[in-house]
Structures are given as C-alpha cells and as structure tokens.
Amino acid sequence: MRLGDLHKFFIQEGIAADPRKSAQVEAQLRKAKSEFRKLKSSERKFFDREKFWNPYADSRILNGDPEREIKRIMVGIDIDVSEILMAKELSRSKEPIDLVLAHHPIGIALAGLCEVMDLQTDVLKNLKLPSKVAEGLMNRRIAEVSRRLHSDNHTQTVDAARLLEVPLMSCHTPTDNHVTRYLQQRMDQKKPKTCSNVVDLLLAEPEYRAGAALKSGPTVLVGGKKDPAGRILVDMTGGTEGSKEVFARLSQVGINTLLCMHLSEQHFTRVKTEFLNVVNAGHMASDNLGINLLLDKLQKKTTIDIVECSGFKRFRR
C-alpha cells in the first residue's frame, strides 16, 4: 500500500468510528471549505487544505513521498529523534523500515491538536448538554491548549526524519475513536453493575492485562470498587482532556461513571467534588487497544509487517 493511501485509510476508518453523528463530521468539513473561501488570496497559502477531507488535524503525513510503497511499519506511542535513529539503524541491519508511525502527534499534527477538540463539544451536545454550555466550556479549554502548544518546538523530530530520509506519520484521533467506540459498546452491552466489574471487563482485553502486569493497568480512581457503575461514559478521544468544569454537568445528564485513559491532577481534584465515579483504564494500554483495532483492519486489507517500539505491543483479534 502506498503511503498516501495508508493515510487516507486511517482517516476513513477514523471517521467510521467517530463518536459523533456523521452529519456533525460532515459539517466540520464544510466549515473548513467555507473558511477557506472567505480568506484573502494572500492568506490562502497558509491554510491547511487537508482539512477539506480530513477532520483530524492531529493525524498527518509528516515526512515522505505519498507514492512510496509501505511494507513494513515501526509503530510506537511516542516517537522522537531516538526512534527515528532506531528505524534508520534497523533498516541497515535487517529488512527496511518503510514508515515510522507515531500515535501521539508531532510536528504540524501536534500544533493542530487543539483543532480536534471540537469533537468533544459535539459529544457533549449529543449527551443533551445545551449548546451554549457545551461550547462555552470547551472553547475556554481549547484556547488554553492552543496557548500551551503554540511555543513548542514542533518540528524537532520531523526535521530528524527529513534529514535521515525516514518516512514519518502520526495517527492520533482515528485510533482514539476506535478505543472509545469499542469500550463504549462493551460497557453498553455488558452493563457492569459496579466499578470493580468495569475493571474486570477491561482486564478481559490483552492490552489491559499487559498494562496491569507493568503496574499501569485499570484502577478505580474516584469512588469505591463496590459502588454502582450506573450509566458509563467512555471519554478517550478528542485530542486531550476537556474542560474540568464539565464534570458537574455530566452527572446532571445522568452519567454515573466516567471511564477515561488519564486524568490530570487538576481534573482529578475537580472531579472528586462531583457525583461521579472515575475508572482510569490506563493511558498506554488504552492507546495500544485503539491502535491494535485499527491495525487489525489494515492487516485484513493488505499484508504489512509491524515492528513494535516505544510502548506499543501488537495484539490481534
């Protein structure tokens, strides 16, 4: 499969697994085209035209010819210069690495991370939060993330890939969409009675068992193990953590337990004051599950070898 086709495949599957309604995703793509048409000709050269068909600004080809054939991919959760050097060395000593695939965004994909957070706004609206409330809470958080990322050295790893001629791609929200949909379906079908039962359901997945063996598996973060789980919301996509002020609103719309992959100390402090249980599934384990679900689809479509690195372990279903 060519690099460009691989990227498009990931985006298409990400859209298919998106927790939003299809009309909401389509509205985002139309909005990008509308914004472009309103720009002056001098401004259009700076516009990211991939937004016309790709709703995930955190998932991009960062280096490499889209026509290049991809037969072997080195996949990692976090990719930096050391993994780029590793890929170059492996290509010398073994079969060539045709692509390094990062889960967490880097380069322009990291600079655009805040742009995917509107996904969370739509999810909150679908939970029946008033549009004004959902937009108000998330707009403040999106602006905060944008300010924090603006001064980062986004291109460091991409520059290394360019100099060493190593193709590089990031795929973030499409894989997070997969873990979110998969776990939400599992929780809705199995209806675990307690928080402990939620953890048991997670441990039925090999990624979470592997995480538990490394002391980073699922745990009940807020609430008791025997507390009723009630209605469960899986919150694992949309760029990064949303507004810490949303927790009170979630309990008001009938959410009893939040199932997340990580929680900052500020978010943890706030959620403790609300009427919500929180089960932390584990960050690396959850990212592994999302990537594996997407790679299962890819390897059913074409023969591509996977090399594990940087916190990723391949499990097939």
Strand partners, 257: 232, 277
Question: How many whole angstroms separate alpha carbon 169 and alpha carbon 2?
Answer: 13
Domain ranges of the chain: 3-173+287-308, 178-286
Q: What is the pLDDT of residues 193-211, one digit of tens each?
A: 999 999 999 999 999 999 9
CA distances (Å), 180 to each of 32, 57, 258, 264, 297, in order? 25, 18, 12, 19, 16
pTM over the 0.85 mark: yes
The string of DSSP letters for 144-158 reads HHHHHHHTS-TTHHH
Residues written for the chain = 317
Q: What is the pLDDT of residues 31-47, one digit of tens each?
A: 999 999 999 999 999 99
Question: How many whole angstroms separate alpha carbon 256 and alpha carbon 7?
Answer: 37
Contact 89, 164 (CB under 8 A): no
Contact 226, 195 (CB under 8 A): yes
Percent of the chain with pLDDT over 70: 100
The structure tokens listed for 45 are: 């050269």
Q: For residue 280, give every residue at least 6 positions away whose Cβ sits within 8 Å of its Cβ, in sequence order, or none.
A: 218, 219, 221, 260, 261, 262, 263
Strand partners, 219: 280
Q: What is the pLDDT of residues 278-303, one digit of tens each?
A: 999 999 999 999 999 999 999 999 99
Has domain 178-286 been given CATH number 3.40.50.1390?
Answer: no
Q: What is the pLDDT of residues 162-200, one digit of tens each?
A: 999 999 999 999 999 999 999 999 999 999 999 999 999
pLDDT of residue 239: 94
CA distances (Å), 258 to each of 41, 215, 278, in order? 46, 21, 5
Own/partner pairs, 121-128, CB within 8 angstroms, 24+ separation? 122/20, 122/21, 122/24, 123/19, 123/20, 123/238, 124/242, 124/246, 124/249, 126/19, 126/20, 126/21, 127/233, 127/250, 127/253, 127/255, 128/253
Q: Say if residue 102's pLDDT is above 90.
A: yes
Q: In this structure, are strands 99-102 and 72-76 parallel, antiparallel, or unpaired? A: parallel
The b/e string for 70-106 (b: 16+ C-beta within 10 A; e otherwise) is bebbbbbbbbeeebbebbbebbeeeeebbbbbbbbbb
Backbone angles phi, psi at 151, to 5 degrees: -95, 0
Question: How many whole angstroms separate alpha carbon 181 and alpha carbon 177?
Answer: 6
pLDDT of residue 94: 86
